[in-house]
Structure 1
């Protein structure tokens, strides 16, 4: 377990997630197949060549899921009760096959549940693609709200 208990989250803290992922054509194809999304912009290179992007675009829900997945080890791995919501999702730039993605989370809010047994934590998640020139481009951002366990009385600091 590597996640944080409710008490360990600090509002305003930004967590840089070390794991990165280069998105492959296979990732995009399999995600589209599993979700039954047959949008030609994601799957048909001839169709996509005639769009403003000039090539296939990675499915935005895959990009979002990848961004959230990258946050799990550092935030809620083993300490989550449930994800409560994903809000204000935006995709300001496209992701293409071969792009490498990294993520970061900023804790924006936290509060105890009404019974005081758990806590609700909201994080603003940002995913960036890394350019060959070292530049980063924001490709997805969202607010993730999770129900978090509180530290057990017998857990050491």
Structure 2
């Protein structure tokens, strides 16, 4: 909606001598509203990926693309990994986390899950191992993690995979000492098991280089 510009209110009138225009002239009449629609429509309107929207399977690994080459909605579905006893034991040794749910067979059997389960942070680390591209490239750094939820347990013998989707891009409007620009990319991550059930979800943030200007 676009309102006509009101140039002068004049003394004693609506403008009280001030210049009015655009939304300022009608802001007192506006109410908060909610935008509704399918995830795909909301993604198109907002420019930010909404979970459940249609994705574009990326032929090239998204981590191999520069900031200005990436498009919201580009996605990668990883290969699978089956969790084994050695994974839990090894992660416990590295982290020092020997919580009974991971190591005590009898106590874990009496728990709400009825079995030993993997550490939540092991699932997080294993998912990174599934979707990270190891070679040098445009991704400069892990910038953070938001909205982490462990939705369902992962036990010995379960098989996980991850879907990585470009959710949001924020231009940092700055350059490094070589004159190369950077931006922050937010990625929607969904980790599922062999039954396609969601076990973990979160957003990761990466610092990504732009293409160098020649």
User: Normalising to structure 1: TM-score of the pair?
Assistant: 0.86
Identify which of structures 1 and 2 has the higher relative contact order when contacts are C-alpha pairs closer than 8 Å and 6+ apart.
Answer: 1
Deviations 1:58-84 (A, max 9, x none): 00000011112212129x863221111
Structure 2 unmatched ranges of 5 or more: 1-60, 176-180
C-alpha displacement of 1:111: 1.9
Q: Does 1:68 align with 2:132?
A: no
Matches within 5 A, 1:125-136: 125-130=189-194, 135-136=195-196
**1:4 paired to 2:65:** yes
Could you tell me how far 1:114 is from its partner in structure 2? 2.4
Superposed CA offset, 1:31-87 (max 9, x none): 01100001010111111011011110100000011112212129x863221111111
Give the deviation of 1:15 after TM superposition: 2.1
Which of the residues 168, 185, 190 maps onto 1:121? 185
Q: Deviations over 1:98-143 (max 9, x none)?
A: 111111112111122121511110001011001xxxx311111110
Q: What is the aligned partner in structure 1 of residue 198 from structure 2?
A: 138
Partner of 1:38: 98
Corresponding residue pairs, total:
148
Q: 1:54 aligns with which of 114, 124, 145?
A: 114
Select 1:97's aligned residue among 156, 160, 170: 156
Q: 1:27 to 1:77 in 2, by over 3 A?
A: farther
Partner of 2:5: none
User: Which of 164, 168, 177 in structure 2 is aligned with 1:109?
Assistant: 168
Q: Secondary structure of 1:66's match?
A: helix
TM-score, normalised to structure 2's length?
A: 0.64
- The answer as to whether partners of 1:125 and 1:144 remain within 8 angstroms in 2 is yes
SS at match of 1:7: coil
Separation of aligned partners in 1, 2:210 and 2:197: 35
1: CA distance between counterparts of 2:69 and 2:131?
A: 15
Instruction: From the two aligned structures, give the one with the greater strand fraction.
Output: 1
**Of the candidates 2, 24, 35, which is equivalent to residue 84 of structure 2?**
24
